[in-house]
């Protein structure tokens, strides 16, 4: 397809002349003709080559736009919905997502072309949501979250009301960003076990076929596995090579590193893993094949691993259930004293827990995992002689329990960074440290190592057996941790390594500090958008006066802390409160909720 413009002289008097100007519309291909009167153009002289690179015009390309229009018509968007790309991509009822998935495919192919053909990932999952939901999110080449500017492009593209407007917006975006739509592009994608995943993957593939993008369907994978493979593909053959870009490569890397990191340390007892009846069940079973059975007492039992009946996904089990309900899975209640952990539906969250016959249920959430990792890494860095040479920091959100923050500051004296809610913010902040540990309280997190840290683990010449031991453990941990995103598998292995080296039970881990009692409420408001936050979502900047009233209320409670923030997807505000006692935390939360209702009505 191309723009064809030419001028045909009708008559040529000495002065003025009439010309016919014919232009082919780049989208409809109709030839539009008009007549103008004026002076004939002077004879063209040869011009020098432009100094600036000419802007590629996708409308002047040979791309077959009819194919995009035809494919889009087969995967229509559901009208009447406002689609917004958020931290989890597009996530909603799966019946609304077929057209969304198609348009995400177009954008992913365009993103790849902008980055000179580097592979872009697309994961189809709704994580801990019910089975009827699903989601589509895009991964950038290093396995990280999509660039913020491109989140806005995704929202714009998906909300186009017609096929023609979709094509126009797609071409306009390519033109504005100087992207050659005829260049090579590559996309890889996978999905979790939800029944709708196959349909959404087919819609995604249809878009990639329509804009001639090379793609690979990895079928059913965990979300962290797709992040891992994306980075491996884009770093293969470079000094930053991250590993073999296959599932087997993933299993071998994590399994082998786990064995090396354990050394001769013993694991105290069996671990029961609640797989949320999701993709984590079969994929963890595969990973365990690459770890010698029973090594150092490592004995894993998988429960809630039924993927044949999709309606069981996340039902009364899984990390989100355990965290929010503060109780073990109802579908497989563990006996007392058994060490347990729970994954979520796509295996990117991890929560540890156990049932004490006297004191009841104990929960070890993301705050506790971050603290355990920080203690372990601090000890290993000191033993390796790297204390003071590498900077370690911990990244949390406002939802982190205040007791964990206080413990880290006083016990380890490590820098603590608080970011807004959302993995992309935590990951970015953690990347500023040589050893950056980040976790949300919900169990999503990982460790990010700088190039300097990894080089120090591998290249430092040990001066003693103890230093050699620590350097070898750190080197193994650098391989075992999935640095691209929170990964329940690698985090679980890391917890087991840290506990084994500390010779701790879950109870000993749980007693390093006492959580402050807390309460989380969800408040219906007239318009959530009038609530604006600042200071990493810990304070309200609008509506005026609301934060002053919250401050006055919080000041009346011992160890009181509370904040309110609007939901990103629902017309509600969430109120978090903590205080020295359970009754005070509940009372503080109720009073702050009343303030929110007053200002939001």
Active site residues: 127
| Contact between residue 533 and residue 415 where contact means Cβ atoms under 8 Å apart | no
Q: Is residue 440 a known part of a binding site? A: yes
Distance CA 341, CA 355 (A): 12
Region of 172 on the Ramachandran plot (φ > 0 left; ψ -120 to 50 alpha; else beta) = alpha
| Contact between residue 345 and residue 313 where contact means Cβ atoms under 8 Å apart | yes
Q: Is residue 442 a known part of a binding site? A: yes
Q: Report residue 517 CA to chain centroid gap.
A: 29
Q: Is residue 348 a known part of a binding site? A: yes
| Contact between residue 302 and residue 334 where contact means Cβ atoms under 8 Å apart | no
Distance CA 88, CA 104 (A): 13
Q: Is residue 574 a known part of a binding site? A: yes
Query: What torsion do the CA atoms of 594, 597, 598, 599 make, to the nearest 10 degrees?
Result: 130
The three-class DSSP label of residue 6 is strand
Distance CA 379, CA 390 (A): 13
Q: What would the two tokens of residue 66 be?
A: 């009819």
Phi, psi of 81 (to 5 degrees): -120, 140
Q: Is residue 388 a known part of a binding site? A: no
CB-based contacts of 16, cutoff 8 Å, min separation 6 = 37, 38, 39
* Residue from 135, 546, 514, 155 nearest 345 by CA: 135
- Bridge partners (DSSP) listed for residue 187: 120, 215
Q: Is residue 344 a known part of a binding site? A: yes
Distance CA 399, CA 590 (A): 17
CB-based contacts of 545, cutoff 8 Å, min separation 6 = 599
Q: Give how far Cα 411 sits from Cα of 403, 405, 597, Å.
A: 12, 10, 39
Distance CA 236, CA 269 (A): 39
Distance CA 463, CA 396 (A): 36
| Contact between residue 328 and residue 341 where contact means Cβ atoms under 8 Å apart | no
Q: Is residue 565 a known part of a binding site? A: yes
Q: Report residue 306 CA to chain centroid gap.
A: 25
Q: Is residue 346 a known part of a binding site? A: yes
- Bridge partners (DSSP) listed for residue 171: none
The three-class DSSP label of residue 473 is helix
Q: Is residue 127 a known part of a binding site? A: yes
Q: Is residue 567 a known part of a binding site? A: yes
β strands within 71-205, DSSP E:
90-93, 119-124, 133-139, 186-191
Q: How many CB atoms lie within 10 A of CB 83?
A: 19
- The enclosing H or E element of 377 equals helix 366-383
Q: Is residue 601 a known part of a binding site? A: no
| Contact between residue 67 and residue 74 where contact means Cβ atoms under 8 Å apart | no
Q: Report residue 535 CA to chain centroid gap.
A: 22
Distance CA 574, CA 518 (A): 13
Binding-site residues for Mg(2+) sit at: 127, 344, 346, 348
Binding-site residues sit at: 127, 344, 346, 348, 440-442, 565-569, 574
Binding-site residues for substrate sit at: 440-442, 565-569, 574
């Amino acid at each position: 397809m191309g723009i064809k413009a030419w001028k045909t002289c009708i008559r040529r008097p000495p002065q003025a002349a009439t010309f016919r100007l014919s232009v082919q519309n780049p989208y409809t291909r109709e030839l539009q003709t008009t007549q103008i009167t004026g002076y004939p153009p002077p004879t063209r002289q040869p011009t020098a080559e432009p100094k600036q690179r000419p802007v590629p015009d996708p409308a002047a390309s040979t791309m077959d736009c009819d194919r995009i229009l035809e494919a889009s018509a087969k995967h229509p968007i559901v009208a009447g919905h406002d689609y917004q790309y958020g931290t989890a991509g597009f996530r909603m009822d799966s019946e609304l997502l077929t057209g969304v998935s198609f348009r995400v495919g177009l954008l992913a192919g365009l993103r790849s072309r902008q980055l000179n053909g580097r592979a872009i990932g697309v994961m189809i999952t709704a994580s801990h949501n019910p089975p009827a939901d699903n989601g589509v999110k895009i991964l950038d080449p290093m396995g990280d979250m999509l660039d913020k500017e491109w989140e806005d492009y995704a929202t714009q593209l998906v909300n186009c009301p017609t096929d023609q407007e979709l094509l126009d917006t797609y071409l306009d975006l390519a033109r504005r960003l100087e992207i050659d739509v005829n260049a090579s592009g590559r996309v890889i994608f996978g999905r979790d076990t939800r029944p709708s995943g196959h349909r959404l993957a087919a819609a995604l593939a249809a878009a990639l076929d329509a804009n001639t993008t090379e793609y690979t369907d990895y079928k059913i994978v965990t979300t962290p596995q797709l992040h891992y493979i994306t980075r491996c593909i884009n770093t293969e053959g470079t000094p930053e090579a991250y590993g073999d870009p296959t599932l087997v490569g993933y299993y071998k890397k994590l399994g082998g590193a786990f064995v090396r990191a354990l050394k001769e340390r013993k694991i105290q007892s069996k671990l029961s893993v609640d797989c949320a009846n999701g993709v984590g069940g079969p994929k963890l079973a595969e990973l365990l094949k690459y770890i010698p059975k029973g090594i150092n007492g490592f004995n894993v039992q998988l429960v809630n691993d039924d993927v044949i009946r999709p309606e069981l996904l996340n039902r009364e089990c899984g990390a989100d259930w355990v965290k929010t309900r503060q109780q073990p899975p109802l579908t497989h209640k563990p006996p007392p004293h058994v060490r347990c952990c729970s994954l979520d539906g796509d295996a990117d969250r991890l929560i540890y827990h156990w049932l004490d016959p006297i004191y009841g249920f104990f929960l070890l959430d993301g705050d506790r995992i971050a603290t355990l990792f920080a203690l372990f890494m601090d000890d290993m860095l000191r033993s390796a002689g790297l204390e003071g040479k590498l900077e370690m920091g911990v990244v949390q959100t406002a939802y982190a329990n205040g007791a964990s923050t206080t413990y880290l500051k006083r016990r380890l004296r490590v820098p603590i960074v608080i970011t807004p809610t959302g993995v992309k913010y935590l990951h970015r902040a953690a990347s500023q440290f040589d050893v950056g540990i980040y976790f949300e309280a919900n169990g999503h997190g990982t460790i990010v190592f700088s190039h300097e840290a990894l080089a120090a683990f591998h290249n430092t010449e040990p001066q003693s057996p103890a230093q050699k031991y620590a350097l070898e453990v750190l080197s193994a941990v650098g391989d075992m941790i999935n640095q691209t995103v929170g990964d329940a598998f690698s985090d679980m292995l890391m917890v087991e390594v840290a506990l084994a080296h500390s010779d701790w039970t879950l109870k000993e881990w749980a007693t390093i500090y006492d959580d402050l009692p807390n309460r989380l409420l969800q408040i219906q408001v007239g318009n959530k958008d009038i609530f604006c936050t600042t200071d990493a979502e810990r304070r309200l900047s609008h509506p005026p006066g609301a934060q002053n009233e919250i401050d006055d209320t919080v000041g009346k409670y011992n160890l009181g802390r509370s904040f309110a923030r609007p939901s990103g997807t629902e017309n509600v505000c969430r109120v978090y409160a903590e205080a020295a006692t359970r009754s005070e935390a509940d009372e503080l939360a109720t009073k702050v909720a009343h303030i929110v209702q007053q200002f939001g009505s």
